[in-house]
Amino acid sequence: MEPIPQIQLGKNGVTKNFLEDVLNHLKKHKNLKISVLKSAGHNSKKVKEYSEEIIKFLGKKYTCKIIGFTIVLKKWRKARE
């Protein structure tokens, strides 16, 4: 089993470049972990906003799960409803 790649979300928040980076990682891997750093707004409400923004950009083939201050993204073969 291969390890899940991990990237960090910093003080700039969710930018266009960050979203493109996430998309590039998901082209190669099925799962991705995003660690939300303290400088990005370290509270659960902010993390939920970030996850919704990322899923909105990626589309219906992706789902996310929030564990503490980490967002775990998963890519599916077919679109989810």
pLDDT at 42: 80
DSSP state, residue 62: E
Q: Please, what are the domains in the chain?
A: 6-75 (3.30.110.60)
Mean pLDDT of the chain: 92
Reported as a single tens digit per residue, the pLDDT across 2-19 is: 789 999 999 999 999 999
| Residue type (1 letter), 51 | S
Q: Stretch 49-57: mean pLDDT, rounded?
A: 95
Give Cβ neighbours of residue 5 (< 8 Å, ≥ 6 apart).
25, 29, 31, 32, 33
Q: Is the pLDDT of residue 49 over 80?
A: yes
The span from the CA of 67 to the CA of 81, in Å, is: 22
Phi-psi category of residue 39: left, alpha or beta, with phi > 0 → left and psi -120 to 50 → alpha: alpha
